[in-house]
Amino acid sequence: MIQSLSNLIPNGLVKKYSFRPPNPAQYVFEYRDGKYQFYPIIKGVKKQIFSYYLRIDSYILKNDKLYVPLIHLSGYVQNTKIEASSSKECSFNSKSFQDETEKLTQRRRMLIIFSHANASDLGDVYSFGERISIEYGVDFIAYDYTGYGIGFGQFKISEQQTYEDLQSVLSFAINRLNYSLNQIILWGFSIGSGPATEIATRFGGLAGLILQAPIASIYNWFGDGDYGEQDIYVNYKKIQYVRSNILIIHGDADNIVGHQHSEKLYNKYLQYNGIGKIQLTFVKDAGHNDLQFHIERGLDQLGVQIQNFFKQKGGAFSEKENTLLNLCYIKEHIPGQHIYQCNSLRKFSSQEEIQKNNRKALFSLCTCE
């Protein structure tokens, strides 16, 4: 049955429908005052966002093969006096504000890097990240895969590229934002479980891996079985190599990615590892897309389980892992920035020498668009 199914479904067709970025993007980035600003688009209208609880920074990681927009949410209290307003458009709940600011005082130096589902981008991921960051007291990065969001149509989308995207974001968080590897949890939702699981196998020093409604693999969505090399995001063959703590969350009413996918991942892990580092939780009456609302609440047993998971830190990481993170570090893109592409490792010490060597064509001046 499995063999006949794989013959009926061409690999190219599966890959085509595996990557379905929203078009147009559900947000925009604008470069103002020396930095990118993030604006979600809601019902066709660009919205300006402001939070009293969180700092929101936006970046783009870019080279000739990679284009990754990301937003970084971190905790702070806006030092602004709140005035009462009689405007119907402005309603301020002082009790809610007090509750949220109290949560900020309990924040820990922990970072979530969130890999989103298919048919999604930063525009609809932002609100989830905001709630997770406030409710659980952690920092949060959401990013778009190359070819998604504002990068739609500019680059080819592929399984391997999503791995490089997440690895670059992880390196950026460490080298640019000053997190330690053992302070970072990778979180993958649906197809995002693919890059999250793959990168978790590469870095044992991570604080953890959270899989939200994950897939066992792309072809296993059509039917259980081993489809060989044509299958992509083969999480069930990789999860045994994850050395950090794992939390799998799935809705028992999920009719898009059945909870059997999570069961398969859990059982495959236990075939090769002890039970101490992996947890599997089914959320009653939760589907695929509304599972996030159960997670956001943070008040019930699931919330306590997630809070306890966040308290764990990763172990030591190897010099090999550290070298890899340094090698794949990509600095943020700055529009109009001038870059000198030198054909020599020599460093020029004066403007006169730069001009002299420019005439000799030792370097060229390029402008990033």
pTM of structure: 0.83
- Average pLDDT of 262-272? 97
* Average pLDDT value for residue range 303-331: 87
Predicted confidence at residue 213, as pLDDT, reads 98
Residue 317: predicted pLDDT: 73
Q: What pLDDT is stored for residue 53 in this prediction?
A: 85
The confidence band for 103, taking pLDDT boundaries of 50, 70 and 90, is low
| Residue 362: per-residue pLDDT | 34
Of 118 and 369, the structure prediction assigns the larger pLDDT to 118
Question: What is the pLDDT, as a whole number, of residue 313?
Answer: 76
| Helix (H), strand (E), coil (C) string for the chain | CHHHHHHHCCHHHHHHHHCCCCCCCCEEEEEECCEEEEEEEECCEECCCCCCCEEEEEEEEECCCCEEEEEEEEECCCCCCCCCCCCCCCCCCHHHHHHHHHHHCCCCCCEEEEECCCCCCHHHHHHHHHHHHHHHCCEEEEECCCCCHHHCCCCCCCHHHHHHHHHHHHHHHHHCCCCCHHHEEEEEEHHHHHHHHHHHHHCCCCCEEEEECCCCCCHHHCCCCCCHHHCCCCHHHHHHHCCCCEEEEEECCCCCCCCHHHHHHHHHHHHHCCHHHEEEEEECCCCCCCHHHHHHHCCCHHHHHHHHHHCCCCCCCCHHHHHHHHHCCCCECCCCCEEEEECCCCCCCCHHHHHHHHHCCCEEEEECC
pLDDT recorded at residue 347: 31
Per-residue pLDDT band for 232 (boundaries 50, 70, 90) equals very high
C-alpha 243/C-alpha 130 separation (Å) is 28
> Quick one: average pLDDT of 199-207?
95
Look at 139 and 335; give whichever has higher pLDDT.
139
> Could you tell me the residue ranges of all domains in the chain?
2-82+93-327, 338-367
At residue 324, the pLDDT reads 87
What is the rounded distance in angstroms from the CA atom of residue 327 to the CA atom of residue 174? 12
Residue 250 has pLDDT above 90, yes or no: yes
Residue 11 has pLDDT above 80, yes or no: no
Q: Give the pLDDT score at 13.
A: 65
pLDDT digits (tens, 9 = 90+) for 119-136: 999 999 999 999 999 999
CATH number of 2-82+93-327: 3.40.50.1820
Residue predicted with more confidence, 179 or 350: 179
Q: How confident is the model at residue 275, as a pLDDT? A: 78
Tell me the β-bridge partners of 114: 142, 187
Residue scoring higher pLDDT (357 or 212): 212
Residue 267: is its pLDDT beyond 70? Answer: yes
pLDDT of residue 321: 87
